[in-house]
Amino acid sequence: MRIKGQCGLVVRQIGVIGAMQLLTVATWASDDTSKASAVEDLRLEEIVVTAQFREQGLQKTPLALTAIDAQTLEAKHQQNVSDLASGAPSVTIQPGSAAWGPTPAISIRGIGAYDFNFALEPGVGVYIDDVYQPTLASSAIDLLDLQRVEILRGPQGTLEGKNAEGGAIKLFSKLPTNELSGFLEAGYGSYNEEQIRGAVNLPLIADQLFLRLAATRHTEDGYVTRYDYGCLNPTSGIPATISSSDCKLGEEGGFNHEGERGTLRWVPNDALSVNIAYDTSRDRDETSASVLLQAINPRGQPTTNYPEFITSQRFVNYATFCVPELGYCIPPVSDSNDWGVASTIDYTFSPTVSLKSITGYRDYSAQFSTDASDGPLTAQLLYNQLAFISFTQELRLNATFGRFDWTLGGFYYRGSGTQGGRNDLGYTGPFPIVTDFNQDDQVHSGSTAEFGQALYHFTDQLTFDVGLRYTREHKDYLFGRTANTPAALLNAAVNGATESYQGSRPDYRASVDYAWTPGIVTYASFSTGFRGGGVNPRPFDLSQLRSFDAETLKNYEVGMKNFFFDRRLRLNADVYFEQYDAIQESITTGYGDFPISAIPLNVGTAHIKGAEFEFEAKPVSALRFDGSVSFLDFNFTELAPSAIASGIRFGMVPEYSPKWKGNFGVQYEIPVQQYGSLTPRLDVTSQSSMYANPVNASTNYLPGYTVSNARLSWLAPGSGKWQVALNVTNLFDRYYLVRQDDLLHQIGTVVGTPARPRTYFVTVNTQF
């Protein structure tokens, strides 16, 4: 009876869905499209992208590509790079955890990275106006005054180069124009969230010189509260550190962001344009939110019972950020400063030949702290200080000769960084405070590449595309260690040691696409990419000084891009098969091994299969739907002996790689007579379970979740220059974890980063 009932329910659901589809088709077919203005109002916009280094319509670009314009970013209330994953298939971006500071975990199709250390490369390239962000630690970017975002899935090795192995995320700012305009927005919400941001466009010399300035300030209180355990429990034997009535030590998860951007655009004639941009950001955040999930006492400390510090309260911990045995504390902060200057010069020699120069300089620094015990015990206390500067130069020559479109280019990169701070791993076996040392490591890296791409249009419908890039890279690491206790002298033996890596790699791409109609394009492609190699940045003795090789990817893909119903329905889909070799994973040794270290290894090879589907629909002018679904199947085909010894087994999957992921959004604009219009919008994002560690275990398992966000906006009548909006995130107040650090068998704890509970935020926006 139960099976019959379920079958009947499925039949009824299919019937309802079929009826809705027929109704939608009838609605589309019955619209009066005789008037050109009405037809254009019903059509979906064609976003222009530059993913292949030339302007193309999104639907004519034969790549797995998601483009998000400024209006969509606003409608979805997306404020940071971490928010972009909710609108793109196969993209996972988790905000930074306490252990990794302001460093997001970014992966596409299961390939990515989450480590802030400069010795380790990102697996997904992040770009601002085509300027490469060389470290993952500087990738948590606020989305300020953007024109669009392009998210490319799959290896982009021929055009974007190394570290775009999983794909690339490209942010494009609004350029200055020849008009006086701008906007100002202010908002207030839950947890005392306050934001003010705006931009102004200034024509300085008519038709020649323009300036655009943008700025933002965004603050919000923390949502996890730190209490003094000894103060709350005076009979526990744990000494109190404060004597206040509420025993509150502070909060976690709060932030204070400020940023500015200025762009000067000079267009002296039709052939030349010069853009010079400067941006800066200052983050003064609390340490990332963290809660204690599991605890044991692997070191046998006689006075500490780790599990007693696990609380049933979802947003509470007992972290002190102190080491009682040594009598020192560190500030619970996550601060960063980032600034850069970029120059983009475009020169058109003729209607068929043009040159682009992109020059970028970036300077990034940060300090952040971690109390991995989340309690008044000595498990692991880390204080990290980072500084990194980089210079990039890229040249691209584009040309069209008859049926040939081609691009030739070169890329140059130099980077230099310092990782300092203090590392206290607490008790290790019979040795107390064995890893308490100060760190002052220096890393220098560089890369050069030449690349080319050629497109041949056999006919107006059939195009063949080939690309080649050759990259050389190197990295030199100098270790600085100073012991703070006699027991930490083993770590100090690493002081002054050096390790280097160098390598080279060719990348290829070949694709063919065919336009069956102006609205239906299919393509098939083969492409490669790689993530640069490096050295182990965390050795605890000389035996752990080692380098590791670059990992590589081969991608086979077929896809289709469709416009239906006179461009009122967009359907894009692709399937892919990837061969993943020399996979890099940082494996943490267990407490049976000594000394403990997180060592990057080339753990083996794997096959990745997947499918991605995106849609956007506008059945009537006021109604819009959008969404995506992705499926990923990862299987190890070979494991290195070191990987097996570290606990990786066949059937395990990389960290932060859910098998299923989907999102759905709907909005409807409702006219309110002479009072303007109201637009309610609902966005739902869902993903299946995933793991936070390549050695999959119950202690790093993250259950799947479904989260909804809502927005109600009012647009003033007439010119519509005033807008008021209510944004609600985590509408149904779901409790779920976005990051997790499994150190149960190393220091005795598992800690997780919970997502924010339901929040409200009201904004007022005016344009001029």
Digit-coded pLDDT (tens) for 356-392: 999 999 999 999 998 888 877 666 788 999 999 999 9
More confident of the two residues 473 and 118: 473
Among 179, 158, 155, 185, which residue's Cα sits nearest to residue 167?
A: 155
At 425 the pLDDT is 64
pTM of the model: 0.91
Residue 482's pLDDT band, with cuts at 50, 70 and 90, is confident
- Asked, as a colleague might, if the bond just before 595 is cis with ω within 30 of 0, I would say yes
> Which is more confident, 484 or 578?
578
Mean pLDDT of all residues in 75-79:
93
What pLDDT is attached to residue 300? 59
- Reported as a pLDDT band with limits 50, 70 and 90, residue 144 is very high
Provide, rounded to the nearest whole percent, the portion of the chain with pLDDT above 90: 73
Instruction: Compute the average pLDDT of residues 456-476.
Output: 96
Tokens in use for 410?
A: 């070169």
What does the pLDDT average to over 624-643? 96
- Which of 32-36, 343-347, 360-364 comes out lowest in average pLDDT? 32-36
Comparing C-alpha atoms, which of 732, 725, 727 is closest to residue 708? 732
Query: 347-357, pLDDT tens digit by residue?
Result: 999 999 999 99
Q: Dump pLDDT digits (tens) for 163-217.
A: 999 999 999 999 999 999 999 999 999 999 999 999 999 999 999 999 999 999 9
Q: Who has greater pLDDT, 35 or 227?
A: 227
Block residue for tokens 């270290």: 597
What percent of the chain is modeled with pLDDT above 70? 89
| Unique residue bearing structure tokens 């403990």 | 596
pLDDT of residue 35: 44
Sign (positive/negative) of CA torsion 374, 377, 378, 379? negative
What DSSP designation does 518 have?
T
The pLDDT of residue 20:
35
- Report which of residues 653 and 99 the model is more confident about: 653
pLDDT tens-digit profile of 672-695? 988 999 999 999 999 999 999 999
Q: Is the pLDDT score of 724 beyond 90?
A: yes
Query: What is the three-class DSSP state of 175?
Result: coil
**pLDDT over threshold 50, residue 402:** yes
Does residue 11 surpass a pLDDT of 50?
no
Q: Place 596 in a pLDDT band, splitting at 50, 70 and 90.
A: low
pLDDT greater at residue 351 or residue 744? 351
Q: Which amino acid is at 93?
A: I
The answer, yes or no, to whether residue 32 has pLDDT greater than 70, is no
Superfamily of the domain at 49-498+514-595+613-767:
TonB-dependent receptor, beta-barrel domain (2.40.170.20)
| Cα–Cα distance measured from residue 186 to residue 201, given in angstroms and rounded to the nearest whole number | 19
Mean pLDDT, to the nearest integer, of 225-250? 88
- Say which residue, 561 or 297, is predicted with more confidence: 561
209 vs 201: CA distance, rounded Å: 11
Q: Measuring CA to CA, which residue among 264, 413, 259, 409 is closest to residue 343?
A: 264
Assign 698 to helix, strand or coil: helix
pLDDT above 90: residue 18: no
Q: List phi, psi (to 5°) of 149.
A: -125, 135
Query: How many CB atoms are closer than 10 A to CB 188?
Result: 14
Checking if the pLDDT of 435 tops 80, the result is: no
Q: What is the largest CA-CA distance in the chain?
A: 86
Q: Is the pLDDT of residue 638 over 80?
A: yes
DSSP H or E stretch at residue 13: helix 2-30
Exposed e or buried b per residue across 304-324, where buried means at least 16 C-beta atoms within 10 angstroms of its C-beta: bebeebbbeeebebbbbbbbe
430 pLDDT above the threshold of 60: no
* 509-535 tens-digit pLDDT: 999 999 999 999 999 999 999 999 999
- Least confident piece of the model among 325-334, 371-380, 601-610: 371-380
- Residue 241 pLDDT level (bands cut at 50, 70, 90): confident
Assign 706 to helix, strand or coil: strand
DSSP 186-215: EEEEGGGEEEEEEEEEEEEETTTEEEEEEE
Q: What is the pLDDT of residue 34?
A: 40
What is the spatial distance between Cα 510 and Cα 529, in angstroms, rounded to a whole number? 13
